[in-house]
Amino acid sequence: MNKQLKSSLLLLLTAAIWGFAMPAQRAGSEFLSPMTFNALRTALGFLVMLPLMLHQDKKAPAPFTKKDVLAGCAAGTVLFIAAFLQQAGVSVQSGAEEIQQAGEAVQNGTDAGKAGFITALYVVLVPVLGVFVRKKTGITTWLALLLAIPALYLLCMTPGKAFTLESSDAMLLVGAVFWAVHILVTDHFVQTVRPLRLCVVQFAVGTVLNGMFALCTENMADQNVISGLWAVAYCGILSTGVGYTLQTIGQKDCHPAVAALILCLESVFCVIGGALMLKETMSTEGYIGCALMLGAVVLAQGSVLFKNRKADEHV
């Protein structure tokens, strides 16, 4: 097996691990409130990544600087917001108390597969938001954005009813914006800060912020940590530790834009995971919306691939 094929398969496995994390998050939300779930998840992520960072620092010693801390705090704060909006959006407890008080049916949050494709919008938004920090982009970015609009409409509509944007879908949409911001913040700092240090500090910040807000806003007596532990373990250990490691190894012998295209399949695995683990199904309109969003994501990443290949040809 050649190196490029091996790298591609590792990245495909990474996309599958990350994709199946969304159904795990939704299943875990039945027992744990959003910030409690995220506090435990980021704490596990911190514990997984810390030995890797210490091993790297031992092999190549370098002082831990103020910039390391500031970068981790910035990335960790954005990660905290993005992760909360995502977890609240898929939570089966999302908006339950308010809706029950109004005498209406309990809103169960957004299905995992649908949530995966709404969140995938961040891939399209990264080059769009990059314009505001003086990053150049091409016409394909705007075409991808135009394609994403009908995709979101089909994903968020309820067949046979007037279009209304559910609060869970709205949280996921705003969360996609913050995931895009997180990519840009990480891209900015990773040029001068060691990636593992950035990960460890941001997970530490995420743990503290989630823990503080959970204590203040969520009823800890209602939490069933034991029942939701498998979902937390999957997201904290497999999705964070194993997924990040496989991504790092896989990208070593794979073109960055090709790697991004393979990782875009994460949203497809969200749908597969939702169907297998949670018995979720979508309407025909929903599946068409998924296809359009995947097209938008591939178009956005494909423009980067084309641009990078042209740059390589001139080197």
Q: Identity (one letter) of the amino acid at 300?
A: A
Tokens of 163: 């279009």
Is there a contact between 244 and 49 (Cβ–Cβ < 8 Å)? yes
Handedness of CA 207, 48, 91, 262 (dihedral sign): positive
Q: pTM (2 decimals)?
A: 0.86
Predicted local confidence at residue 97, as pLDDT? 44
Is there a contact between 203 and 80 (Cβ–Cβ < 8 Å)? no
Q: Which of 239, 233, 232 is nearest to 35 (CA)?
A: 232
- 108 pLDDT above the threshold of 80: no
Distance CA 254, CA 8 (A): 7
Q: Identity (one letter) of the amino acid at 314?
A: H
- 302 pLDDT above the threshold of 80: no
The residues, any chain, with a CB within 8 Å of residue 196's CB and separated by 6 or more, are 49, 52, 53, 56
For the chain, what is the domain count? 1
Q: Which domain holds residue 71?
A: 3-313
Count CA atoms within 13 Å of residue 177 on its CB side. Answer: 6
Predicted local confidence at residue 103, as pLDDT? 39
Taking CA atoms, 115 is separated from 85, 90, 169, 232, 261, in Å, by 11, 7, 8, 18, 19
Residue 12 — left, alpha, or beta (φ > 0 → left; ψ -120 to 50 → alpha)?
alpha
| E strand or H helix that includes residue 287 | helix 284-313
Q: How confident is the model at residue 163 (pLDDT cuts 50, 70, 90)?
A: low
Q: Which of 175, 174, 165 is nearest to 25 (CA)?
A: 175
Q: How many other C-beta atoms can be found within 10 angstroms of the C-beta atom of residue 30?
A: 14
- 307 pLDDT above the threshold of 80: no
Predicted local confidence at residue 162, as pLDDT? 63
The residues, any chain, with a CB within 8 Å of residue 151's CB and separated by 6 or more, are 117, 289, 290, 292, 293, 295, 296
Taking CA atoms, 16 is separated from 24, 26, 196, 268, in Å, by 12, 16, 22, 8
Q: How many other C-beta atoms can be found within 10 angstroms of the C-beta atom of residue 229?
A: 15
DSSP state of 235: I
Predicted local confidence at residue 136, as pLDDT? 77
Predicted local confidence at residue 315, as pLDDT? 39
Taking CA atoms, 241 is separated from 10, 48, 117, 225, 308, in Å, by 14, 6, 23, 21, 29
Distance CA 115, CA 194 (A): 31
Tokens of 206: 């995420």
Q: How many other C-beta atoms can be found within 10 angstroms of the C-beta atom of residue 94?
A: 22
Predicted local confidence at residue 190, as pLDDT? 86
Is there a contact between 109 and 90 (Cβ–Cβ < 8 Å)? yes
- 99 pLDDT above the threshold of 70: no
Lowest-confidence pick of 88-102, 177-191, 272-286 = 88-102
Predicted local confidence at residue 106, as pLDDT? 41
Tokens of 303: 């423009």
